[in-house]
Structure formats: C-alpha cells, structure tokens
C-alpha cells in the first residue's frame, strides 16, 4: 500500500534552529512526491490541538528529526497511539539506542555505520539517509565573497572530556578509550564499534585488560565520539595558517576557542548564529570548513549546503563522499593527522578565482543531481513502505 499521509513534528528545541529547517524542507520535498503532509507542533501547555489532529485524521506514520525518546516511565508516544514513528537522526546514534526498544519506531541515520550499529542490537528498522540540501539553493550565485574561509562549529572542550575519564572510569577502561580514539582518528574507514573492540582485544592478558560486560557501552561510546569531534575540528583549524578564517561558534563553559587556538592570529572568532544566517555566511565565503570525522560512511548537511552555494568545501574524506566528489577538483578532502598540504590547497583556491569557480560549479551540479531533500524523500518513501506494511500486520 503506497504511503499517502505523513505528519511531521516540529522540534520543541533545536540549537541554531537546524532541526526546524530540516523538518520544513523534508515536509516540502515529501509534498512534491505526492504525499499529503502536515507540520504539527505539540505545545506542552495545550497538547489538545496536536492530539486532535493526529487522532482525527491518523497518518500512515509520523516523522521527527532526532526522534521522540521515551518518557520517564519508558513509554513511547508512537507505541501508545499505535502509529509508526520515523526518527531521522542528525546526531550520533549512540544517544538514541533506546529507540530500539520501541516496536513502532523506525530510524534513519546519516552514517551507514550507525545503521550497522542498530542492526548489531537486533534492530532491523534502521535506514541510511544522509543529510541533504533544499533544491532551491542549487542555483548559480552572483555572489560577493566577504569571507575567505569560514567554519561554523561550537567548541568541544575535548581535553576536559578526556581528563574527566580518569575521574569516572577505571584506569584500564580509560586506556582503552584513548586507544579507541586514536584508531578512529587515524583510520577514516573504521567504525567506532570496530575500533573499540580492537582496543579491548589489544589489552588482553595485560594489566589494562577489562571485562566488556562491565562497561556502559552507550555512555562510553558517546564520550569517545564527542572527544573525537572536538579534537578533529580544532586540529582542522590549526592546520590552516596563512589565510583568514572567520569562525562562528559557541564556547564551552569550561573553555573558549581562544584557549585552544592560542596565538593563531589568522582566526577571527564570532559568536554562534542561527541556521538561516549560517547559510548566508557560507554563501558569502570562498571556502568553508566542515569537520565531520565522526561520519564514517555518509554525509553531513554542511557539505551539501556549501557546494549548493558555490562555496568550496573542505571536509573529512569517506567512501560515500568519494563516490560523488573528487579531491582537488570539486572539493578538498582531509584525513585527520595527514594535514600535509591542506594549508597550501586552501590558499591556492582562495587566491585563484578561476580555479575555484570551476571547482564549485562542478560541485554544485553533483549536489543538485544527487543530494537534495527531494532525492532523500523519494528514496525514503521507497525504503519506508515495506517497513510500514510490516508494522500494520
């Protein structure tokens, strides 16, 4: 039975309003695929209109970005109303493992390795769906470049995170966590689970040997991944020394961007900005940096947004992106620790307008042909239909 009706839930809270933007654009793309959709908002003070909309005209399924987690008693809204809910994950799958406990929950992940993670938990309703960009952005721009290089990232105080491990975990586990992080940072195609298992196995028969059954795997995996994210984005900025970088992002309570960048005077730090303004900043930039080392096989929205806006993207290399983009031709790929000539590459594209124009035009066409929300909506409906059929049985 084809999918005819979908309700999308607007997020109650979204840092920088990213989830709100994604929700609206997926809604519009699904509508263009012929699906009747509604954008619903659940107001805590008055949930009656929200509930009346759902029960008065029940959809085939509901969707929200990052999903609806259970309440304090472990109950899922979708289980209670017996309507499947699709949780389109934007953040790490490690933070959403409880969704595997819901028979009416389905998830999408922007990283194929995250889908494999859910499958390892005997959860067979995880779909691969990388981020995307609205098709209206994929048009040639008569742009003014007010910025040479920009990066939009909040600081993650990764040193404080690692120091905290010593207070929270046994020394043996801390060593395994540190080894896991090093494997992840040095091997772009290795999943977090694989790296963690390898690190544990490397300590068998040593004083650092630990029993995997004693570990809170979800918490530990999240700690390691957050550490990797923070370290990668700082080192990426440090690797580019000879061109101005305008960095937009929040500090941590425990540290500031300046604490990590020290006297690197080519970086100008600005406060965080909402998503719509961030898109405008990217569109006014020659080059944009996107630190996504945590994604092993997939893609982050920033890559597609930048390429759609005729901005040359610098991002972590992975096999999924390698299928579409080509290092030095329409994108700049990096691998952590192998910074090599990345500073030189960025400087060359910043200073050589003709070379950059040729590269960004190629990248925009690749994104337009493969990575809009319309592409994601079409594939999603195809993948989702058999899962909904199964849920109805």
Distance CA 48, CA 160 (A): 44
Buried b / exposed e over 290-302, threshold 16 CB at 10 Å, is bbbbbbbbbbbbb
Cα 283 from chain centre? 20
pLDDT attached to residue 383: 96
CB 123 within 8 A of CB 102: no
Spans of all domains in the chain: 5-132+373-392, 136-157+214-370
Instruction: Compute the distance between CA of residue 261 and CA of residue 258 in angstroms, rounded to an integer.
Output: 5
Q: What does each of the 393 residues of the chain score in pLDDT, given as a tens digit? A: 789 999 999 987 767 789 999 999 999 999 999 999 999 987 776 778 888 889 899 999 999 999 888 888 889 999 999 999 999 999 888 889 999 999 999 999 999 999 998 998 899 999 999 999 999 998 887 777 899 999 999 999 999 999 999 999 998 899 999 999 999 999 988 999 899 999 988 888 776 677 767 788 889 999 999 999 999 999 999 999 999 999 999 999 999 999 999 989 999 999 999 999 999 999 999 999 999 888 999 999 999 999 999 999 999 999 999 999 999 999 999 988 888 889 999 999 999 999 999 999 999 999 999 999 999 999 999 999 999 987 766
At residue 74, what are phi and psi to the nearest 5 degrees?
A: 80, 15
User: Which residues, 6+ apart, have CB-to-CB distance to 131 below 8 Å?
Assistant: 22, 90, 110, 299, 300, 301, 303, 304
CB half-sphere exposure, 296, CA atoms < 13 A: 23
Q: What is the DSSP string of 8-76?
A: EEPPS--GGGHHHHHHHHHHHHHHHTT-EEEEE---SS--HHHHHHHHHS--SEEEEET-----TTS--
Alpha carbons within 13 A on the beta-carbon side of 70: 17
CATH topology of domain 5-132+373-392: Rossmann fold (3.40.50)
pLDDT for residue 14 = 67
Alpha carbon distance 18, 88 (integer Å): 13
Residue 150's φ and ψ, nearest 5 degrees, are: -125, 155
SS (H, E, C) 119-140: HCCCCCCEEECCCCECHHHCCC
Q: For residue 103, what pLDDT is reported?
A: 92
Provide the CATH topology of domain 136-157+214-370.
Answer: Rossmann fold (3.40.50)
Matching CATH topology for 5-132+373-392 and 136-157+214-370? yes
pLDDT at residue 208 in the model: 64
Q: What is the pLDDT of residue 210?
A: 74
- Residue 99: DSSP 8-state: G
């Amino acid at each position: 039975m084809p999918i005819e009706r979908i309700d999308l839930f607007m997020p109650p809270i979204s840092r920088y309003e990213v989830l709100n933007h994604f929700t609206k654009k997926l809604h519009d793309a699904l509508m263009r695929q012929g699906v009747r959709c509604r954008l619903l908002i659940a107001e805590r003070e008055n949930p009656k209109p929200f509930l009346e909309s759902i029960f008065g005209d029940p959809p085939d399924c509901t969707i929200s970005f990052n999903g609806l987690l259970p309440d304090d008693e472990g109950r899922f809204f979708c289980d209670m109303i017996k309507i499947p809910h699709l949780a389109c994950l934007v953040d790490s799958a490690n933070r959403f493992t409880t969704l595997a406990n819901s028979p009416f929950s389905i998830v999408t992940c922007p990283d194929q390795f995250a889908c494999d993670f859910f499958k390892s938990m005997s959860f067979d309703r995880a779909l691969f769906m990388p981020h995307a960009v609205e098709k209206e952005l994929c048009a040639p721009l008569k742009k003014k470049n007010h910025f040479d290089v920009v990066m939009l990232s909040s600081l993650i105080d990764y040193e404080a995170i690692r120091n905290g491990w010593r207070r929270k975990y046994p020394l043996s586990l801390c060593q395994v966590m540190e080894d896991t992080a090093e494997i992840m940072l040095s091997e772009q195609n290795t999943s977090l689970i694989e790296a963690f298992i390898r690190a544990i196995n490397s300590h068998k028969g040593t004083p650092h040997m630990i029993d995997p059954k004693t570990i809170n795997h979800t918490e530990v995996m999240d700690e390691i991944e957050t550490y990797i994210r923070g370290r990668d984005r700082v080192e990426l900025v440090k690797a580019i020394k000879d061109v101005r970088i305008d960095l937009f992002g929040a500090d941590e309570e425990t540290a500031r961007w300046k604490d990590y960048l020290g006297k690197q005077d080519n970086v100008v730090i600005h406060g965080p900005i909402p998503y719509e303004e961030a898109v405008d900043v990217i569109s006014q930039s020659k080059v944009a940096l996107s630190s996504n080392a945590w994604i092993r096989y997939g893609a982050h929205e920033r890559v597609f947004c930048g390429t759609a806006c005729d901005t040359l993207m610098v991002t972590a290399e992975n096999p999924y992106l390698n299928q579409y983009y080509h290092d030095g031709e329409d994108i700049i790929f990096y691998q952590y620790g192998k910074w090599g000539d990345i500073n030189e590459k960025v400087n060359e594209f910043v200073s050589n307008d003709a070379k950059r124009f040729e590269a960004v035009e190629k990248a925009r066409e690749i994104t337009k042909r493969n990575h809009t929300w319309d592409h994601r909506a079409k594939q999603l409906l195809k993948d989702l239909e058999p899962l909904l059929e199964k849920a109805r049985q």
